[in-house]
Structure 1
């Protein structure tokens, strides 16, 4: 779907046809949209394919009639298991217009067309690129905070009961962080090239905006790294907890098996035509005596094999060190 936006006063308004200083907004791309971009705007077919490739990395390319930037922007889609990921967005800068191409819809482009970004003008190509990347950094930070909240909620669930569903959710969060980290780093490389004046020349009054965008990207990358480290440590901790719980269960099952072997052994012995001790074979309570003895033996075995909780001992190092210091001080 192709839409056209033009600045009217302080706001962007939709227009019916393309013209000078217009933002050509292409989202949810169809075959007809690609034909229009290729025939009417002269965009190379391989560039269009790169913009729609989900694995395409951020980069800058300069042609005779336009300059192309491919950026990785964050996206949220609850239909997938990994609800936070990134998509490539192509930004094509012509002399008299700006074209953006995205295979799906994303919040960054929605906020740009919705008037949530101040002083957005397709006539100023360099400022348009900076404000787009600045908004992308803000959305990255917003999604990272939401991922942090989701991680905290999953952690609370795992503390109550470790289930496979929560572990799968943690794995999905980890995948989202990997997507974000990779995309942010590739976008940062593009931003560094822009700072060096590659492909796009910025005005003197845009230097502060350029530095602000770079700062936001560095902050987003640091947040990604911090969340990834925390999540990795959390996954290792829960893996240790699961292994420890399994060891405890196996230990208890082993104790139960050993305890049950005692009466089984006694019953097996008397089941092989072994004569009873004198005085017991004719007793009416012989069976009860044998079963009682088995129960007592099993109880003693369980008592000997029970879990013993070791009481924590008081630290002796600090008092001992103090005791050594005091006599020396008296001397």
Structure 2
């Protein structure tokens, strides 16, 4: 969908193409573009098809180019879609600069573009396109930092759930968050290169105020890169720790199954032995044999119960007893 915007009294106002004031700069917002939108961008705005395809490519990295008729800027923006398996990811945003016209192209919707359209960004002006672009970059970094904090909170919540019971669902959620952090780190580093190129080259004419603002944006972007790296390392360590816990639990279960199989081998051996032509004990003892066998079964069950259920309690009691002795000695 393509919408047209102009600024009145310091606020962006949406207008139809026939209502546009030719004396004012305009912003052409192309979001969730269709085939018809691509055709309009090619024919009406003379944008090369190759550049449109690059902007719509999910894996396109940030860059800036100057063509004969316009200037092309591609940067990565953060996106949050709750229904996706990977809720946090990044998409490329294309910015086309014409004299008096700025065009943004994105294959989906995102919070940065919504903030622009809803006038949530301060000091936003269409009369100064370089300042307009710097405000977009600044808002992008702000959203990146916010999403990184949300990812950290989500991982902490999933960790507390995993400490109670380890299930595949929580592990998959952690894996998806780790993928999101990888996407964020890659996009932030790509944007950092773009910021440095904008500041060092003269493709976009920035005044002193815009340069200072761009330096602040670059600092925030480096902070976001460090946060993403830190959270990614923490999440990787957490995944390794839980993998070790799962392996340890599996070893404990296998140990118990081995003990049970060894215990069951004894009655199996006895039954197999007396299943041959061998005289059985207590054959002519009547109820005495039944009583003796019942007592042996009860004693065996009691010993098995002590062996499997009382070990943790004994270790806890021993630990408490040793702590009390240390306190008395101290």
Normalising by structure 2, report the TM-score.
0.88
Q: In structure 2, how many angstroms separate the alpha carbons of the residues matched to 1:262 and 1:206?
A: 84
| Deviation sequence 1:222-265 (CA, Å, 0-9, x none) | 11111101100110011011111111111111111112222222
SS in 2 for 1:90: strand
Equivalences for residues 72-87 of structure 1 within 5 A? 72-87=76-91
Higher mean C-alpha deviation, range 297-306 or range 191-200: 297-306
- Which of 188, 209, 222 does residue 226 from structure 2 map onto? 222
How far apart are residue 143 of structure 1 and its match?
0.9
Q: In structure 1, how many angstroms separate the alpha carbons of the residues matched to 2:299 and 2:248?
A: 31
**8 Å contact from structure 1 (residues 58, 88) kept in 2:** yes
Q: How many residues align?
A: 313
Matched, 1:244 2:252: no
Matched, 1:23 2:1: no
Equivalences for residues 28-177 of structure 1 within 5 A? 28-177=32-181
Q: In structure 1, how many angstroms separate the alpha carbons of the residues matched to 2:127 and 2:304?
A: 87
Instruction: Tell me the equivalent position of 1:322.
Output: none
Instruction: Tell me the equivalent position of 1:11.
Output: 11
Normalising by structure 1, report the TM-score.
0.87
Q: Tell me: CA distance 1:266–1:210, structure 2 relative to 1, closer, same or farther (3 Å).
A: same
Q: In structure 1, how many angstroms separate the alpha carbons of the residues matched to 2:175 and 2:181?
A: 10
Q: In structure 2, how many angstroms separate the alpha carbons of the residues matched to 1:183 and 1:63?
A: 24
SS in 2 for 1:206: helix
How far apart are residue 138 of structure 1 and its match?
0.4
Provide the aligned C-alpha RMSD in A.
2.3
How far apart are residue 304 of structure 1 and its match?
7.4
How far apart are residue 9 of structure 1 and its match?
2.2
- Which of 271, 275, 297 does residue 267 from structure 1 map onto? 271
Instruction: Tell me the equivalent position of 2:327.
Output: none
**8 Å contact from structure 1 (residues 4, 15) kept in 2:** yes
Instruction: Tell me the equivalent position of 2:284.
Output: 282
Q: In structure 2, how many angstroms separate the alpha carbons of the residues matched to 1:140 and 1:21?
A: 29
How far apart are residue 298 of structure 1 and its match?
7.1
Q: Tell me: CA distance 1:301–1:269, structure 2 relative to 1, closer, same or farther (3 Å).
A: farther
Q: In structure 2, how many angstroms separate the alpha carbons of the residues matched to 1:205 and 1:300?
A: 81
